[in-house]
Structure 1
Amino acid sequence: MTAPDHEPHEEPAAPAPGADELSVRDRALLALERRPWPGPGAKERAIREELGISPVRYYQLLNALIEDERALREDPVTVNRLRRVRDARRGRR
């Protein structure tokens, strides 16, 4: 039997605090948020299955993430859209 030609894929370690790059988890949050959803059930299911966290925790992390300038540099369209949605909700209260 021969050894595989490549190393198994491993997720990169999260950058150190203060690093200029987002963590793997933060990028996954933004990627999930970019996707279109047929309804809330599908998104909640994907949050649980793909990220392994509850939807409540997802939104806690996402709300903190959209304040991070690194997230804005990584995905300005998504972050600005989320900020607009948040600000509109705050304005209705």
Structure 2
Amino acid sequence: MSDQELSPRDRAVLDLASRSWPGPGARDRAVRERLGMSPTAYLQLLNALLDDPRAAAYAPVTVNRLRASREQRRSER
């Protein structure tokens, strides 16, 4: 893997983030089953990926949507 590529785990996190879920329970269950990590670890990794240009290149729609959502939450504080 070159320095320009995301790891398979990072791609899996972004792929999971791109899906819509009927509720947080379904997403959390999928995170545990498919990624083998806690929902908290998933959200921390996903948040870090939003600042990674490689993630934006891999999944631009997902990253831009989540960045906008994150910025909106920050501005509401």
State the TM-score, normalizing by the size of structure 2. 0.96
Identity percentage of aligned residues: 60
> Of the two structures, which has the highest relative contact order with CA contacts closer than 8 Å and spacing of 6 or more?
2
Q: CA RMSD in A?
A: 0.8
1:20 alignment partner in structure 2: 4
2:66 aligned partner, one-letter code? L
Q: Who wins on radius of gyration, i.e. which is larger?
A: 1
Q: Quick one: distance in 1 between partners of 2:20 and 2:44?
A: 20
State the Cα distance separating 1:61 from its structure 2 match.
0.3
2:25 aligned partner, one-letter code? G
2:57 aligned partner, one-letter code? R
User: Is 1:84 matched up with 2:37?
Assistant: no
1:4 alignment partner in structure 2: none
State the TM-score, normalizing by the size of structure 1. 0.80
Deviations 1:3-48 (A, max 9, x none): xxxxxxxxxxxx35xx111100000001001111011100000000
Structure with greater proportional helix content = 2
User: Is 1:71 matched up with 2:55?
Assistant: yes
Q: Which runs of 5+ in 1 are unaligned?
A: 1-14
Deviations 1:38-79 (A, max 9, x none): 111000000001000000000000000010000011111000
